[in-house]
Chains A and B, each alone.
Chain A
């Protein structure tokens, strides 16, 4: 009896060895496509690095609408006079430049179109932006409304950290106003409007969010 059981066991073992261990096809593609990278992000929160040069700290929130389009809302706080080349070009000589910045704020709305159905991840994009920035000094204020087109690039630097770079070109509608504070009210004594070119290079870093 023992011999029969032993023979049976050896037979099963040999049979197991003779059969090849074959892999199978797998319909669970997600398992193989998951590389940790957030390439299918729904939104992107981004800080504009180049805005720091102009004295603004700009934060933007980009929301994907579909695989081609997205909208972006941005808000900015001015912490420093900064260097705004296009402001310097349009500035008027009679304004007092030695004044201290008291308050600076801004907002922007952007519509973006991505190529290759890659919104909002790693691809080139075209964008149209309206941006409004206001800088208040002691006796005068400066308001800039920029409407510009951007051709840019989006990159995924790590799993969720993104980078954006773009070249801008458009129009700036600027308004200078000098005020003299009086009791209970403000009197505008000078109000100059200027229209000019706006453009340049912009870049920022963001973080992709998947809802």
Chain B
């Protein structure tokens, strides 16, 4: 499946535009290792080894398929995993197949986890007889590049084994900040209730967990892999409330307590009369978009925090500061018809013991940020001038016409443009710096669907639909005490017919943010007064690698605060780039 996705990206990802505007330039060091032929097709992970080298995992496949007509298909594929080891210069030392089969059964790779300074491979197996999916771990010997020891079963979820009409069961694994505890989230395969309509959901970490409301099971493991906290079929609920919560984020703290961040989304359906009387095109009214944080201690006791009732939140993340207090960083919203538009950011600090609110800071986006990220045109400014009674706008006539043509919905969106970042729906990155100041990075993303109908000379019409995935401007925000500072970075990137697996990588060091976008490294100052960038030569066509005609980048990862690794690929030929920010 992963292979298929990568293939789709390789074949269909076409970059339309890639422009950017920054407030200065930074220096970036780009080096690369030697060219080699990889086993496998696409990379799924890369990690830094304790000896200073690197290790990557790639996936390929064995098998083949033949179709005779529409009904007879011979298909047999198996995912094969490969492991590569590199020196500190990213020159390949060795690569071999990583065999994760056990007792004649094909296990599926789930995740590579570094825990207690050892690497573990987590794999899954769907047992059709038991109708369960099991999660196993085994230790990875980095020197021998092979699994050693036995496969140990950690967790299990219900899985009716590819029964149609069921969502896929899944696991998610996360570590506490000090890496003393590990939490495994398990989600049973459940009948499909409704599909997510969002093309841009949460980041990949939450993609399996955060789309539906469901009961989940979790296992908290200590450093000896002993289960110290466990709940089966757990559901986030409020007393005397029937609100349903969608799990958006989860975390485990340094004491083994688990935190679940749920979002409720109570939507009233408007009656036909209400829609008509309000001249509304949409049938829903978002009257509540709150988050609830539930802490489940090792002894089974729970604490709960609910965000203020009248505040609408678009998204929220959990962070832990050095004292162990919980920081909920979120996006404030305002309803415009069926959409919840992001108007600002907030940070709520909660006491670790009882979830009492210590502080609550929120701020709207500044005029400067909004004017730039929303690309308010001169004509729109003129309309605004007219509405304010100022008729000295340069293009007054045009503006008057445009205002007269606007529907109530268009007018509402026009107004909200001055208060909200319209294309920001989720937090792209959040983190706390050494001083405990919270930082949030947001990226404008939207999907544009263009349907074109052609009629040829014979009168035959062909309709094509093109999906333009836009990845635009960045907004940087930082909470310094009770103050919120903001800045922006203007960019434009379009991927046609295939969304990016990951649009950017972010690292946080000494209070400064470093963001790798498509072809640029963007860096903010500690107080966000300046956002500077550097164009990456690695992504440029003029930067040639001997023996490689073209370069494709489909994967990259921030391996530490200073270093981003990205493989340039062309078929099986690979060169790993190391990008270091001074």
- A23-B227 in contact (CB<8A): yes
A33→B76 CA distance, assembly (Å): 21
Q: Which stretch, B150-158, B274-282, B396-404, touches the partner chain A?
A: B150-158
- Judge whether A39 is part of the interface by a CB distance below 8 angstroms: yes
- B154-A25 in contact (CB<8A): yes
- Judge whether B469 is part of the interface by a CB distance below 8 angstroms: no
A115→B62 CA distance, assembly (Å): 6
User: Inside 8 A of B101's CB, which chain A residues have their CB?
Assistant: 117
- Judge whether B259 is part of the interface by a CB distance below 8 angstroms: no
Q: Is the interface of A mostly helix, strand, loop or mixed?
A: loop
A22, A24, A32, A35: most-surrounded residue (chain B CB, <10 A): A32
User: Inside 8 A of A184's CB, which chain B residues have their CB?
Assistant: none
User: Inside 8 A of B488's CB, which chain A residues have their CB?
Assistant: none
- Judge whether A26 is part of the interface by a CB distance below 8 angstroms: yes
Closest A residue to B153 using CB positions: A26
- Judge whether B300 is part of the interface by a CB distance below 8 angstroms: yes
The number of chain A residues with a CB under 8 A from chain B is: 34
| Cross-chain contact of B152 among A22, A26, A115, A154 (Cβ < 8 A) | A26
A121→B101 CA distance, assembly (Å): 13
Q: Closest approach, in angstroms, between the C-beta of B109 and any C-beta of chain A?
A: 14
- Judge whether A20 is part of the interface by a CB distance below 8 angstroms: yes
A28, A29, A37, A153: most-surrounded residue (chain B CB, <10 A): A29
- B230-A22 in contact (CB<8A): yes
- A27-B150 in contact (CB<8A): yes
- B227-A25 in contact (CB<8A): yes
- Judge whether A198 is part of the interface by a CB distance below 8 angstroms: no
- B152-A123 in contact (CB<8A): no
A116→B150 CA distance, assembly (Å): 21
A34→B134 CA distance, assembly (Å): 12
A24→B127 CA distance, assembly (Å): 19
| Cross-chain contact of B136 among A29, A34, A165 (Cβ < 8 A) | A29
User: Inside 8 A of A37's CB, which chain B residues have their CB?
Assistant: 128-129
| Contact A117 to B104, CB < 8 A, known contacts A27-B152, A33-B125, A123-B78 | no
A39→B129 CA distance, assembly (Å): 14
Q: Is the interface of B mostly helix, strand, loop or mixed?
A: strand
- B150-A115 in contact (CB<8A): no
Chain A positions 76 through 119: 1 when the CB is less than 8 Å from some CB of chain B, otherwise 0: 00000000000000000000000000000000000000011110
- B219-A23 in contact (CB<8A): yes
Number of A-B contacts (CB under 8 A): 100
Chain B residues 53 to 107 lying within 8 A of chain A, measured CB to CB, are 61-64, 66, 74-76, 78, 80, 99, 101-106
- Judge whether B225 is part of the interface by a CB distance below 8 angstroms: yes
A32→B134 CA distance, assembly (Å): 7
A167→B76 CA distance, assembly (Å): 15
Q: Closest approach, in angstroms, between the C-beta of B125 and any C-beta of chain A?
A: 6
- Judge whether A61 is part of the interface by a CB distance below 8 angstroms: no
- A118-B78 in contact (CB<8A): yes
Chain A positions 15 through 50: 1 when the CB is less than 8 Å from some CB of chain B, otherwise 0: 000101011111111111111110110000000000
User: Inside 8 A of A28's CB, which chain B residues have their CB?
Assistant: 153
A117→B98 CA distance, assembly (Å): 12
Closest A residue to B300 using CB positions: A20
User: Inside 8 A of A116's CB, which chain B residues have their CB?
Assistant: 61-63, 78, 80
| Cross-chain contact of B76 among A23, A35, A124 (Cβ < 8 A) | A124
User: Inside 8 A of A121's CB, which chain B residues have their CB?
Assistant: 104
A18→B299 CA distance, assembly (Å): 8
- Judge whether B356 is part of the interface by a CB distance below 8 angstroms: no
User: Inside 8 A of B153's CB, which chain A residues have their CB?
Assistant: 25-29, 31-32
- Judge whether B451 is part of the interface by a CB distance below 8 angstroms: no
- Seen from chain A, the residues whose Cβ lies within 8 Å of a Cβ on chain B are 18, 20, 22-37, 39-40, 115-118, 121-124, 151, 153-155, 165, 167
Extra contacts, 9 of them, besides A20-B230, A23-B227 (Cβ < 8 A), are A22-B229, A24-B227, A25-B226, A27-B153, A32-B130, A32-B136, A39-B106, A116-B61, A123-B62
**What 4 A-B pairs come out closest when comparing CB atoms?**
A40-B104, A116-B62, A115-B62, A116-B78
